Structure 1
Amino acid sequence: MGRYDRLSPVDTAAKFIQRHYENCEGALLAGSVVRGEATKTSDLDIVIFDRNIQSSYRESLFELGWNIEVFVHNLTSYKDFFASDCERARPSMPRMVMEGEVIIDKGIITSIKNEAKELLDKGPAKWSTETVNTKRYFITDALDDLIGSDDRAESIFIVNTLAEQLGEFVLRTNNRWVGDSKWVIRSLKNYDKGFTVRFIDAFDTFYQTNKIDKIIILVDEVLNPYGGRFFDGFSLGK
């Protein structure tokens, strides 16, 4: 079966599960295809719950005309993933479970979805003052590097780092989940669409024109409520 005559995501997930996990207690189809954000390269994220699985695992494969990512758990192993994802403030597994479309449910999915929702609604742990100051320092350091840089190639990578650091700072200081790659912007949009427009514009302006004025303004706007740029007096491990 080719990519252009393949089954729908839901039908594919159901057939895939029937082939490989027919005895599972629960299964969900998650990811961009259920959020209505699928692109031509989107894959299928399938979460399996099977009490007979000894330990959780993840597998990537091509089947039924789709790239498929399968996340397999027993009825307790997913809890460790929930906890570790929330600790790093990147709730990939809880989000997949919460948004997932039920394909199979033998009476377990509702409680697992409720666990995921409770964690997502709670938000990540609040940063300590020490953590906020440490993050301020590293953002300040990156900004200073950018201001002093006269090498376009180096500046590109400094800006990349600064965008990640600043996005994380905004989200975590506002009790919001963060993300990797495309989820950085998605998380920012979920927090504040207006700010996200200015965030994108500041960094895009640099990429197009090499001008950093908007980045400097944005950094100061974000840091000022927490004391502004921070260098003098910073210490770590003293």
Structure 2
Amino acid sequence: MNRPDAVETVRTLIEDRYPQAVQALLGGSAAAERLTETSDLDVTVLLPDTTVCRQALTYAGWPIELFVHTEESVRRFVQLDAAKRQPSMARLVARSIPVLPGDGGAVLRAYCSALLEEGPAPLSEDEMQLARYILTDLLDDLDGGASRPAMDAVVVEVWRRAAELLLASERRWSGSGKWLVREIEALDAAAGSRFATRFHGSLEAAVNGRPDNLVRLVDEILGRVGGRLRDGFRLVAASGE
């Protein structure tokens, strides 16, 4: 890649546009040393006071995404993400490279790292039953003989929800897109399992009209939490819903 060094590029950008910054944190692919020709630079800018925003720009040949925050707003977004079991902001901050001199943002990075290490709260009984019920219903849809485009959509939804349930049952964080796969890979690395490979292979087979392996994998995951659930499912709406 004929582009200047990522860290130096971000440092120059921040000194030019945000001279009051407490710290700038270079995360994402750059921090993980996974940069490719199409990678952008994900940068969290910490300011004493600001209007929180996300903005995209190109600087010195690099596509850059800026996440402009105060430390307080980062903590707020981290907690919102944690409630969804998808710690995007915590990952971005904890697994980052400080670009500016000094220890600005160090406490915040430690806070995000601790949250990632702790893992998500366990699913409540209602959440677990709902997850089992939805997957049971989706598995029924796989036998429903719908059109091929509709069946492919069902396959993808089965794959996603089964992956999320697996991670939740293991008290591990989830994610969307590539981060869902990466979290399963992290589970495999920790547990010596091979779920990522099995999920990928069964998804490929299912979208080509062979869902049997996917169904077996999903039933295995459901078996960890009580199996399929249809008869007897009951979910009481919260007050006001």
Match 1:97 to one of 76, 93, 96: 93
Please list, as runs of the form range in 1=range in 2, the aligned pairs for 1:52-201 lying within 5 A after superposition: 52-53=49-50, 55-192=51-188, 194-201=194-201
Aligned partners of 2:126, 2:72: CA distance in 1, in Å?
34
Secondary structure of 1:23's partner? Answer: coil
Q: Could you list the runs of 5+ residues in structure 1 that have no partner in the other structure?
A: none
Aligned partners of 1:236, 1:129: CA distance in 2, in Å?
10
How far has the Cα of 1:76 moved from its partner? 1.6
> How many corresponding residue pairs?
233
Secondary structure of 1:148's partner? Answer: coil
Aligned partners of 1:41, 1:98: CA distance in 2, in Å?
23
Please list, as runs of the form range in 1=range in 2, the aligned pairs for 1:7-26 lying within 5 A after superposition: 7-26=4-23
Q: Could you list the runs of 5+ residues in structure 2 that have no partner in the other structure?
A: none
Higher mean alpha-carbon deviation, 135-144 vs 38-47, is at 38-47
Secondary structure of 1:10's partner? Answer: helix
Q: Output the amino acid matched with 2:221.
A: V
Residue 32 of structure 2 is aligned to residue 35 of structure 1: yes
Higher mean alpha-carbon deviation, 159-168 vs 148-157, is at 148-157
Is the 1:123–1:175 contact (alpha carbons within 8 Å) kept by the matching residues of 2? Answer: yes
Q: Output the amino acid matched with 2:212.
A: D
Identity across matched positions, percent: 32
Normalising by structure 1, report the TM-score: 0.93
Secondary structure of 2:99's partner? Answer: strand
CA RMSD of aligned residues (A): 1.4
1:3-43 Cα shifts (integer Å, max 9, x gaps): x5321211211111111112211111110122122222110
Aligned partners of 1:179, 1:204: CA distance in 2, in Å?
20
Equivalence for 1:204: 204
Aligned partners of 1:35, 1:161: CA distance in 2, in Å?
29
Residue 194 of structure 2 is aligned to residue 230 of structure 1: no
How far has the Cα of 1:166 moved from its partner? 0.5
Aligned partners of 1:215, 1:107: CA distance in 2, in Å?
48
1:193-238 Cα shifts (integer Å, max 9, x gaps): 511111111111122x311110111011001122211111112337
